[in-house]
C-alpha cells in the first residue's frame, strides 16, 4: 500500500540549498521547547508490545499503521508518505515500508532526521537463543521513540527550519558481515527518492540512543561528512552537562543508514550511535546488542532526555537563517 498524498507537498519543498560539509552554527536567541523522555519511553514500549518488527511479520504490519497514524496526527494528512517496496533477500520476498513525515512544508530550507524502525530477525550474539528475532527496544525502538516525541514538539512549536523525518525499514535484516543485505530501506530511498533533487542542509541518524550506560563518541564517517555539525552537536551536549554521553573523542567508522544516504544522495549525514572503542582499538557495541536482552529493561530515560534536549537546542536555537 503506497500513500501518495505527500508527493504534491514534497514537490514544493525540494531544498534549494547545497549540501555543505562546512556547516556553520551560532546561538540565535530563540526559545527552545521541552522534550519529554517519558513520552518517548512510552513510544518504545508500544513498539515492543507489538513484538519483533521483522519484515513480513504481523508485528511489522501493525507497526507500519502505528507509525503512520502518529505522523498523520502530528504532521497532518498531506505531509505523510509511506514508501512501499518489495525486495528478495535469502530467498524471501520482503514487503518493506519507509515512513516519511514533513514539518514546516512551506520552508525550502530543510533538515533530515532519521532512524530505522525494524528489529533484527536473529540474535546471533545471544549464547542462549541466537535464532529467534529480538524485540529491539534500543536497536531500532529508541531512535524511533525519540523522533516520535520530536514530532509532537514540531506539531506544537513550529521549527524555524523545515524538518523531514524518515523511518527506514530493513536496516537490520542482513546476516552477520553481509552488509549487502543491511540498510534495505535507506538504499531504496536513496535510489528512488520520492522527490528528485531533495537537498536538505544536513541529516542526523539516531541509532541505539536509549540504552543504559550509553556513550556516543564521534562516529568516523560522520566526521568525514559533516565535521562542523558533529562538533556542534557534541559541544551542545557538553554545555548541557552530558559530557559522559557526548565525549570529545573520535569513535569508529560504522556502516549504517547515514553512510548509504551520503553515498547515494550526497546529503551530509551524521550518526549518533551507542558504541565505544576498546583499549586495542576494536569497535564495541553494548552487551545487549543483537541479543534477547535488547528489551525495555535496558532503556534509560535519562539518555533519551539528553539526546532530545541536544537535538531541540540544535534545531531551534543554533541553525542560522
Residue 8 has pLDDT above 80, yes or no: no
Instruction: Report which secondary-structure segment, H or E, holds 8.
Output: helix 6-11
Q: How confident is the model at residue 195 (pLDDT cuts 50, 70, 90)?
A: confident
CA distance 164 to 96: 20
Predicted confidence (pLDDT) at residue 20 exceeds the cutoff of 60: no
Q: How far apart are CA 103 and CA 64, in angstroms?
A: 19
What is the predicted pLDDT for the residue at 196?
85
Strand partners, 114: 166, 205
Contact status, residue 234 vs residue 246, Cβ threshold 8 Å:
yes
Q: How far is it, in rounded angstroms, from Cα 117 to Cα 141?
A: 6
pLDDT of residue 5: 43
Round to whole Å and give the CA distance between 266 and 277. Answer: 28
The per-residue pLDDT for range 84-100, each reduced to its tens digit, is 999 999 999 999 999 99
Is the pLDDT at 17 greater than 90? The verdict is: no
Amino acid at each position: 500500500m503506497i500513500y501518495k498524498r505527500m508527493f504534491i507537498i514534497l514537490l514544493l519543498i525540494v531544498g534549494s540549498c547545497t549540501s555543505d560539509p562546512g556547516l556553520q552554527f551560532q546561538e540565535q536567541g530563540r526559545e527552545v521547547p521541552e522534550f519529554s523522555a517519558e513520552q518517548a519511553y512510552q513510544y518504545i514500549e508500544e513498539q515492543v508490545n507489538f513484538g519483533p518488527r521483522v519484515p513480513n511479520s504481523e508485528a511489522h504490519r501493525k507497526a507500519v499503521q502505528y507509525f503512520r497514524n502518529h505522523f498523520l496526527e502530528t504532521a497532518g494528512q498531506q505531509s505523510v508518505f509511506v514508501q512501499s517496496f518489495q525486495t528478495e533477500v535469502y530467498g524471501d520476498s520482503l514487503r518493506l515500508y519507509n515512513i516519511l513525515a514533513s514539518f514546516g512544508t512551506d520552508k525550502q530550507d530543510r533538515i533530515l532526521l532519521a532512524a530505522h524502525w525494524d528489529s533484527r530477525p536473529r540474535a546471533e550474539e545471544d549464547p542462549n537463543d541466537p535464532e529467534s528475532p529480538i524485540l529491539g527496544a534500543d536497536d531500532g525502538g529508541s531512535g524511533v521513540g525519540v523522533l516520535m516525541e520530536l514530532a509532537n514538539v514540531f506539531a506544537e512549536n513550529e521549527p524555524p527550519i523545515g524538518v523531514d523525518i524518515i523511518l527506514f525499514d530493513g536496516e537490520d535484516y542482513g546476516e552477520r558481515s553481509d552488509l549487502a543485505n543491511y540498510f534495505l530501506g535507506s538504499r531504496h530511498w536513496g535510489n528512488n527518492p520520492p522527490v528528485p533533487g531533495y537537498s536538505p542542509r544536513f541529516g542526523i541518524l539516531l541509532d541505539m540512543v536509549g540504552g543504559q550506560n550509553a556513550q556516543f563518541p564521534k562516529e568516523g564517517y560522520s566526521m568525514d561528512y559533516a565535521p562542523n555539525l558533529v562538533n556542534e552537536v557534541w559541544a551542545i551536549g557538553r554545555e548541557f552537562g552530558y559530557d559522559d554521553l557526548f565525549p570529545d573523542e573520535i569513535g569508529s567508522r560504522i556502516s549504517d543508514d547515514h553512510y548509504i544516504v551520503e553515498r547515494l544522495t550526497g546529503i551530509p549525514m551524521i550518526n549518533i550511535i551507542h558504541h565505544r572503542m576498546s583499549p586495542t582499538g576494536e569497535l564495541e557495541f553494548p552487551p545487549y546488542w543483537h541479543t534477547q536482552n535488547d528489551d525495555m529493561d535496558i532503556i534509560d530515560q535519562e539518555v533519551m532526555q539528553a539526546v532530545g534536549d541536544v537535538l531541540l537546542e540544535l534545531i531551534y536555537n543554533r541553525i542560522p537563517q
